[in-house]
Structure 1
Amino acid sequence: MGNYQICDFCGNLSEKRSRKMCASCEEDYRQIRDIVEAKPDTMVIDISRQTGIRVSKIIAFAQKGFFILNEGTIEGLD
């Protein structure tokens, strides 16, 4: 595949990066991280409403180890 990879989160083909995510998904991750750093106990649904990022994508970040979920809230970062 050369210098390209499939994004683990959206499935789009993008240039290789240090993480297996495209630039768009990395921006989503940064938006989520900014909210979590400011208020770690924010509910996933509230993060989704604030950012427009689908709940399923936020949960996918947690499943891949980028965040730690606890009963609907994101409590910490990996």
Structure 2
Amino acid sequence: MGNYQICDFCGNLSEKTSRKMCKSCEDGYIKVRSIVEKYPDTMVIDISRQTGISTSKILAFARNGFFILKEGTIEGME
């Protein structure tokens, strides 16, 4: 596939990145990360409501090591 990859989060074909995610998912990750950095004990559902990013995608970020889940809340890792 050369300079392309399948996004680990949405399955779309995109240009290769170090995070293995497309531009849209990377933008979503940055939105989630900005909230987590300011308010580390925010619940996943509240982050989803604030950003419009599905809870399943936020949880996928955590499963892939970008965040740590802690009793319904989420913490930054990277």
TM-score range, shorter chain: over 0.9
Give percent identity, aligned residues only. Answer: 77
What TM-score results when the alignment is normalised by the length of structure 1? Answer: 0.96
Structure 1 residues 37 and 10: CA distance shift in structure 2, 3 A: same
> 1:52-71, aligned counterparts within 5 Å?
52-71=52-71
Matched, 1:2 2:5: no
SS in 2 for 1:68: strand
Q: Corresponding residue for 1:15? A: 15
Q: Distance in 2 between matches of 1:13 and 1:51?
A: 23
Gaps of 5+ in 2: none
CA contact (8 A) 1:4 1:13 kept: yes
CA contact (8 A) 1:61 1:67 kept: yes
Structure 1 stretches of at least 4 aligned residues deviating more than 6 Å after TM superposition: none
Q: Report how many aligned residue pairs link the two structures.
A: 78
SS in 2 for 1:74: strand
Please report the RMSD computed on the Cα atoms of aligned residues, expressed in angstroms: 0.8
Gaps of 5+ in 1: none
What TM-score results when the alignment is normalised by the length of structure 2? Answer: 0.96
In structure 2, give the amino acid aligned to 1:63: R
Q: Corresponding residue for 1:34? A: 34
How many angstroms does 1:75 deviate by? Answer: 2.7
CA offsets 1:12-50 (integer angstroms, 9 cap, x no match)? 000111110000000000000000000000000000000
